[in-house]
């Protein structure tokens, strides 16, 4: 304990009191395989930055003796593994968020589990991160879970990677070991589109190259991990080119004279007087006021959460999206997306879920499971189902139009979750990707697959409502065609005439059906696409 | 174009969470514990629903052992802002004579806080309750979701928490289930103080150093707030310059010796402190996982 307190005092001198103004914020996560030392690394970072208080260190000393895996030394992982199940088993189950600051930056770090079983918690941590520290055990090199986490980070558009080659103390800081792992990762990550990859040899247990550069790896000339985290420029979190968009979260209507639309601006900038469209219906109006508790604003931009009032009396409700007049953001009820499946019961085409994107909730049906993605080879593979922790590309059909964009263009309008209708579990994390289907058509050389996809578009996927309707139509047609042919044959004495009349009849039916159903709708006095809330249940 | 500061980002996130709760629940309520986090939470709520009034009441679970200054501050705040305040006491516990001195801290907290809270939530059928808990306070809180679902018996199951990616909160629940919602999840103690200074938010004066009557007991400085605290033979009351980092029941909240009588001095003192905020909370130290157990039983 004494040595710990002494080195803490040193750490406080190094970093001093954080200057809290003008701070930028970096959100990152640690990921990698089981036992690669993620929690130990975060514990070490917190400790070196003076974010571990003396009473917590006292508790850590006691816990290290009881649960620790480091013999007589402090087990830094116990600082972050907060649940008793985690401490007993010595593993991380759930994502934990930790907070620390240096004079240069504030940090929010998500410590995520390495076990495959808990991959969904890693994906959760990655969804809000600017950077990922991917740990690799120097003795083991890249493992399946390392590749999986690299892929998830890439999919969720975490643009910056630190490849932290840990436990370098055990391999005597061998440069050859480090170089080989770095080469392996370069090969793996070639298609993953990271903006930066920085490899650092570390020992989380001993602190080498964590906060301070280590003398034990003289061949390494780069920054320590903390120096890198403090200085890396991760750029703007959101491309601003998308123009103004604000999902309406809540309608603020305190009295008859005020009606405002509250939400968090997801992109762009707005001023009073600007023209806006309200999607999905597309009405136009102008912004009258930008109302906040601190007074009306002359403008507001991405990340702010004001209340907007409009110049016209327009029906706007939660789930609608206000966009700039020239915005290309569109709406629709069919969405192609990548999904990450998070529960035991598998995903299958035809299943129905609750869909939530920004402030919109809708009923959704998985229309097509296009393919799964192998997390090892990153290749598309045909699949009938997606198991827990599986990735795939699906087409989803909604019971009402949603306003969405590609995840690559908007994290707010491109991300969604699927929820089980019965037990309310979150079953999937989804990313809108309109390119996924197009790429696939170009990729798939096999004509049979293309034929199948075409057929599925026309007649629906097995098990869906569309297919059921098609089958019932086909059987009605077949059942009526036989007696018609027979009747014409009997009447005219010519089997050929029978076939011709039947063929004309079948050809005319879709026209009659289309006319007939629209006539029925007119008669009922409502349009099919204005099925009100809850219509899908 | 200037990028929003760290505090502006936190403020917008909290406002977003509060509006999401109100838009998706039937009967929301704000747990108001009178402390600095509650003060910030209340201030953020005023911002989130402006120009409307708060679309929910405040609920204070009164254990009958709070500092008198806290109760005065509570009533003055409710009056000043014109908000609807519900005060709930566990009358069964009061009748049974439960208190920190006679029953011990564990039983007192179970009955007067946890039981009292559950009674009040059931009585008013609240289906979403805001709390001011932060993830940086304690290890098991670091693992808690922003929208934390509770069973009809108010239990928290840390092993089956729903994933909560981006800002997409799964707000669906079955009848009887409820949410505890934590808009300050991503705030730190330092953020809370910086925000109080920036926005000029009133807090209970006990956070600032003053001469107060304290007794040294079991290694903690306990303020003798009323005559219910009987002195042990060797004890005597001293007037010392002290302040509090957190506020709870007075017999269970240790003071720290301090000269920090202003907000700036408190912030300066805190940033050089070497002990954690909850160190003065006696109930946290009933075993290393005791907060997790209390939370499973329905404590915030």
- In this structure, the answer to whether residues B101 and B173 fall within a common structural domain is yes
| SS3 assignment, position A4 | helix
Shortest CA gap B52–chain A (Å): 5
Is B22 within a domain? Answer: yes
Size of interface A-B (CB pairs under 8 A): 176
CA A361/CA A268 separation, integer angstroms:
24
Domain count, chain B: 2
SS3 content of chain B, % helix, strand, coil (to 5): 40, 15, 45
pTM: 0.82
Cβ-nearest to B275 among A23, A53, A80 = A53
A115 and A214: one domain? yes
Judge whether B78 lies within some domain: yes
- Say if residue B181 is in the same domain as residue B246: no
CA-CA distance, A371 to A449, in Å (whole number)? Answer: 11
Q: Which residue of B6, B139, B165 is in closest CB contact with A127?
A: B165
Res A461: pLDDT: 54
| DSSP-assigned letters across all residues of B165-215 | -TT-------TT-EEEE-TTTT--HHHHHHHHHHHT----GGGS-EEEEEE
Of A95, A98, A304, Cβ closest to residue B12: A304
What pLDDT shows up at residue A462? 54
User: Cβ–Cβ of B12/A354 closer than 8 Å?
Assistant: no
Sign of CA dihedral A508, A509, A514, A518: positive
| Shortest CA gap B173–chain A (Å) | 7
Range of the domain at B216: 204-285
B272, A17: Cβ pair inside 8 Å? yes
A155: enclosing H helix or E strand: helix A144-155
Q: How far is A344 from chain B (nearest CA, A)?
A: 13
Distance from first CA to last CA of chain B, Å, rounded?
A: 40
- DSSP of A189-240: HTTS--SEEEEEE-BTTTTBTTTB--SS-TT--S--HHHHHHH-----SS-G
Nearest neighbour of B159 by CB, restricted to A81, A85, A253: A85
Does any CB of chain A come closer than 8 Å to the CB of residue B290?
no
Higher pLDDT: A434 or B15? It is: B15
Q: Find the domain containing A363 and state its range.
A: 330-459
Task: Compute the distance between CA of residue A455 and CA of residue A17 in angstroms, rounded to an integer.
Answer: 66
8 Å CB contact of A127 and B23: no
Whether residue A430 is found in the same domain as residue A403: yes
> Is the Cβ pair B186, A252 closer than 8 Å?
no
| Chain-chain contact of B8 with A106 (C-beta, under 8 angstroms) | no
With an 8 Å Cβ cutoff, are A356 and B12 in contact? no
Q: Is A500 part of any domain? A: yes
Query: What does each C-alpha distance from A326 to A241, A278, A282, A389 come to in angstroms?
Result: 12, 12, 12, 39
* ipTM score assigned to the predicted complex: 0.90
| Shared-domain flag, residues A52 and A177 | yes
Using one digit for the tens of pLDDT, what is the confidence trace for A80-93? 665 666 666 666 66
What's the mean per-residue pLDDT of chain A? 82
CATH number (domain holding residue A274): 2.40.30.10
Q: Are residues A338 and A431 in the same domain?
A: yes
Min Cα distance B27 → chain A (Å) is 16
pLDDT in tens, A401-454: 999 999 999 999 999 999 999 999 999 999 999 888 665 544 443 444 455 555
**Better pLDDT: A35 or A109:** A109
Pick from B139, B175, B179, B284 the residue to mutate for testing the A interface (most A CBs within 10 Å). Answer: B139
Give the residue from A95, A101, A250, A298 with the most B CB atoms within 10 Å of its CB, the best one to mutate: A250
Contact of B185 with chain A, judged by CB distance below 8 Å, is answered with yes
**How many Cα atoms within 13 Å fall on the side-chain side of residue A404?**
28
Q: Report long-range pairs for B70-77 (Cβ below 8 Å, ≥24 apart).
A: B70/B34, B70/B204, B70/B206, B70/B247, B71/B34, B73/B34, B73/B202, B73/B204, B73/B205, B74/B32, B74/B34, B77/B39, B77/B42, B77/B202
Q: Is residue A464 part of a domain?
A: no
In a domain, A388, yes or no: yes
- Residue A141 Cα distances to A44, A172, A196, A206, angstroms: 22, 15, 20, 20
The torsion angles phi and psi of B136, rounded to 5 degrees, stand at -80, -5
Strands (E), A312-414: 321-324, 330-341, 347-348, 352-357, 360-373, 380-381, 385-386, 391-404
φ and ψ at B218, to 5 degrees? 50, 40
Q: How sure is the predictor about A4, in pLDDT bands with cuts at 50, 70 and 90?
A: very low
The predicted-structure confidence for B226-261, as pLDDT tens digits, reads as follows 999 999 999 999 999 999 999 999 999 999 999 999
Chain B residues in contact with A81 (beta carbon < 8 A): 139
Instruction: Say what the pLDDT of residue A527 is.
Output: 36
d(CA B229, CA A22): 47
> What interhelical angle do B36-49 and B189-199 show, nearest 10?
60
Angle among Cα B45, B141, B158 to the nearest 5 degrees reads 115
The answer to whether position A236 is within a domain reads no
pLDDT band at A14 (very low <50, low <70, confident <90, very high): very low
Q: Is the domain of B175 the same as that of B240?
A: no
Q: B130 and B226: one domain?
A: no
């Amino acid at each position: 304990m004494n040595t710990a307190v002494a080195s803490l005092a040193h750490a406080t001198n190094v970093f001093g009191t954080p200057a809290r103004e003008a701070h930028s914020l970096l959100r990152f996560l640690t990921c990698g395989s089981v036992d690669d030392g993620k929690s130990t690394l975060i514990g070490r970072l917190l400790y070196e930055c003076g974010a571990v208080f003396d009473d917590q260190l006292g508790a850590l000393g006691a816990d290290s003796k009881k649960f620790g895996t480091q013999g007589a030394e402090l087990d830094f992982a116990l600082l972050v593994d907060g649940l008793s199940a985690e401490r007993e088993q010595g593993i991380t189950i759930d994502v934990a968020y930790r907070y620390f600051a240096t004079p240069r930056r504030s940090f929010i770090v998500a410590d995520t589990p390495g076990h495959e079983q808990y991959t969904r918690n890693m994906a959760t941590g990655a969804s809000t991160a600017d950077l990922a520290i991917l740990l690799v055990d120097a003795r083991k090199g890249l493992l399946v879970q390392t590749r999986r986490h690299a892929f998830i980070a890439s999919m969720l558009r975490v643009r910056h990677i630190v490849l932290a080659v840990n436990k370098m103390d055990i391999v005597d800081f061998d440069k050859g070991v480090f170089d080989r792992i770095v080469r392996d990762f370069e090969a793996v990550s070639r298609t993953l589109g990271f903006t930066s990859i920085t490899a650092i040899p570390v020992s989380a247990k001993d602190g080498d190259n964590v906060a301070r550069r280590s003398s034990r790896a003289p061949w390494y000339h780069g920054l320590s991990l903390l120096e890198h985290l403090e200085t890396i420029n991760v750029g703007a979190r959101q491309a601003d080119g998308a123009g103004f968009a604000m999902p309406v979260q809540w309608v603020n209507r305190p009295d008859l004279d005020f009606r405002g639309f509250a939400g968090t601006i997801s992109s762009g900038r707005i001023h009073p007087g600007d023209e806006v469209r309200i999607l999905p219906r597309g009405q136009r109006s102008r912004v009258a006021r930008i109302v906040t508790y601190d007074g009306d604003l002359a403008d507001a931009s991405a990340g702010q959460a004001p209340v907007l009032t409009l110049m016209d009396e327009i029906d706007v409700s939660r789930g609608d999206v206000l966009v700039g007049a020239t915005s290309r953001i569109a709406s629709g009820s069919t969405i192609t997306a990548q999904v990450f499946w998070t529960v035991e019961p598998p995903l299958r085409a035809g299943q129905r879920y609750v869909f939530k994107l920004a402030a919109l909730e809708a009923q959704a049906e998985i229309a097509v499971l296009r393919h799964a993605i192998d997390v090892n080879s990153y290749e598309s593979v045909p699949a009938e189902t997606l198991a827990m922790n599986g990735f795939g590309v699906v087409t989803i059909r909604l019971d009402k139009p949603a306003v969405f964009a590609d995840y690559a263009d908007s994290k707010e309008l491109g991300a969604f979750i699927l929820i089980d209708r019965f037990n309310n579990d979150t079953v999937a994390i989804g990313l809108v990707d309109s390119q996924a289907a197009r790429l696939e058509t170009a990729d798939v050389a096999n004509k049979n697959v293309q034929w199948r996809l075409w057929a599925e578009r026309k007649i629906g996927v097995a098990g869906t409502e569309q297919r059921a309707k098609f089958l019932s139509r086909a059987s009605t047609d077949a059942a009526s065609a036989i007696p018609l042919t027979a009747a014409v044959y009997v009447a005219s004495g010519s089997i050929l005439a029978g076939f011709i009349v039947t063929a004309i009849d079948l050809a005319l039916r879709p026209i009659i059906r289309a006319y007939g159903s629209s006539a029925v709708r007119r008669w009922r006095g409502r349009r099919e696409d204005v099925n009100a809330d809850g219509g899908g249940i | 174009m200037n990028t929003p500061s760290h505090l502006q980002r936190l403020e917008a996130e909290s406002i977003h969470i509060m509006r999401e709760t109100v838009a998706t629940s039937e009967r929301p309520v704000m747990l108001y514990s009178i402390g600095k986090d509650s003060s910030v939470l209340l201030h953020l709520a005023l911002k989130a629903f402006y120009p409307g009034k708060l679309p929910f009441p405040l609920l204070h679970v009164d254990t009958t052992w709070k500092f008198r200054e806290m109760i005065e501050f509570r009533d003055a705040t409710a009056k000043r802002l014109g908000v609807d305040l519900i005060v709930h006491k566990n009358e069964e516990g009061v009748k049974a004579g439960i208190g920190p001195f006679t029953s011990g801290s564990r039983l007192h907290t179970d009955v007067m806080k946890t039981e009292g809270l559950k009674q009040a939530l059931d009585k008013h059928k609240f289906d979403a309750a805001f709390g001011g808990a932060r993830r940086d306070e304690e290890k098991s809180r670091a693992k808690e979701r922003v929208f934390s679902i509770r069973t009809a018996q108010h239990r928290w199951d840390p092993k089956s928490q729903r994933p909560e990616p981006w800002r997409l909160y799964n707000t669906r629940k079955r009848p009887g289930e409820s949410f505890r919602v934590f808009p300050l999840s991503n705030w730190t103690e330092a953020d809370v103080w910086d925000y109080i200074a920036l926005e000029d938010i009133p807090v209970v004066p006990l956070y600032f150093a003053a001469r107060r009557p304290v007794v040294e007991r079991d290694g903690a400085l306990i303020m003798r707030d009323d005559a219910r605290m009987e002195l042990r033979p060797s004890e005597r009351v001293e007037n010392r310059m002290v302040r509090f980092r957190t506020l709870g029941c007075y017999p269970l909240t240790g003071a720290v010796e301090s000269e920090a009588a202003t907000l700036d001095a408190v912030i300066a003192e805190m940033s050089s402190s070497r002990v954690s905020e909850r160190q003065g909370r006696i109930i946290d130290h009933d075993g290393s996982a005791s907060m997790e157990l209390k939370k499973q039983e329905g404590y915030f």
